[in-house]
Structure 1
Amino acid sequence: MKILARHLTVDLFNCKNSKLKDSKQINEAIEEIQEQFHFTPINSCSEQLDEHHYAIMLLFREGHIVLHIYTELKYVAIDIFLCQEQAEPERIAQAMRNFFKPDKIKSTLLKRGSFGTPKDIRPKVKTRVAPLRKIHNTGAKVLRVLARRNRS
């Protein structure tokens, strides 16, 4: 199995609100992370999407980091995408957790890339179907119980 990249999504809940509202401080923290991990910057931007929601994106040669910050909810959604087989996006996420200091964290790591032959990468679908007779019998039992209750 060859992994071309690693993509980590992180949800930070109930973050310190003072840091959430200071986009300058957040941009400085992201720049420090970029320097700490020796990323080669390409571009960055910050955009206020509405009164309580803004996004920050850092694009670098090794991947990208995107943050969506919801100040009113004290919530930060982070995507860290690193284009290296041995990348460790968890280390970047840890630096961001230290900055935002959330009460609760949810993260998901995806391994992106070529996972073998076309047969190997087909989506796996598992469907469970209850037999129609069983559903019919259950419905009949419910109707009998209701009928008995109505007679009482």
Structure 2
Amino acid sequence: MKILARQLTMDFYHCKNSKLQEMEAIKSMLRDLLGGFGCRIIDVQGHEIEKQHYAIAALFGEGHIMLHVYTDLRYVAGDVFLFAENAQPEDFFKGIRKFFQPDKTKTTFLKRGEIAASSDIRPKVKTRVAPLRKIHNTGAKVIRILARRNRS
């Protein structure tokens, strides 16, 4: 099976970085991140979509990064798309996460263009939600206690 590309989608909730409203600072962070990985930067552009929402696209020889920033919600949605079977979009994710400093992240990893011999092509999706600080899940504890009582 041949993989043409790898993509990582990401959601950052409750971002703490005070530069969330500074489009130029985010564009600069993307340039630095791409340069640090030796990527061939083609262009980094940002555009205001509406008040409190703008999009930034970084196009480089090995793929692209797209970010939608919602400043009033302190929320960032984005994706990293890399044109290589052995690409590691998680490395880019770490740098972007470090910049925005979210309380919680959600990522989905996709293998794009899976070319298989069979005609039954189904994408394999792996989704992970990871809060960055520990929260005790009392709801799950209550359900376990109730389940034990019902068995007795």
Task: Please classify the TM superposition score into its range, dividing by the shorter chain length.
Answer: 0.7 to 0.9
> Do the aligned partners of 1:14 and 1:102 also contact (CA within 8 Å) in 2?
yes
* Counterpart for residue 113 of structure 2: 113
How far apart are 1:119 and its partner, in Å? 1.4
In structure 2, the CA distance between the partners of 1:117 and 1:75, relative to structure 1 (3 Å rule), is same
Looking at structure 2, the residues matched to 25 and 122 of structure 1 have their Cα atoms a distance apart, in angstroms, of: 39
Q: Deviations over 1:3-60 (max 9, x none)?
A: 1100100000000152211112111111111101111112221001111000000111
TM-score (norm 1): 0.77
> Do the aligned partners of 2:58 and 2:64 also contact (CA within 8 Å) in 1?
yes
In structure 2, the CA distance between the partners of 1:95 and 1:60, relative to structure 1 (3 Å rule), is same
Which structure 1 segments of 5+ residues have no match?
A: 124-152
* Counterpart for residue 65 of structure 2: 65
Extract structure 1 runs of 4+ deviating beyond 2 A.
Answer: none
State the secondary structure of the residue aligned to 2:87.
coil
TM-score (norm 2): 0.77
Q: Deviations over 1:60-104 (max 9, x none)?
A: 110000000000000000110000111000010010110000000
How far apart are 1:110 and its partner, in Å? 0.2
Higher strand share: 2
Q: For the aligned residues, what is the CA RMSD?
A: 1.4
Question: Are 1:29 and 2:29 an aligned pair?
Answer: yes
> Do the aligned partners of 2:17 and 2:101 also contact (CA within 8 Å) in 1?
no
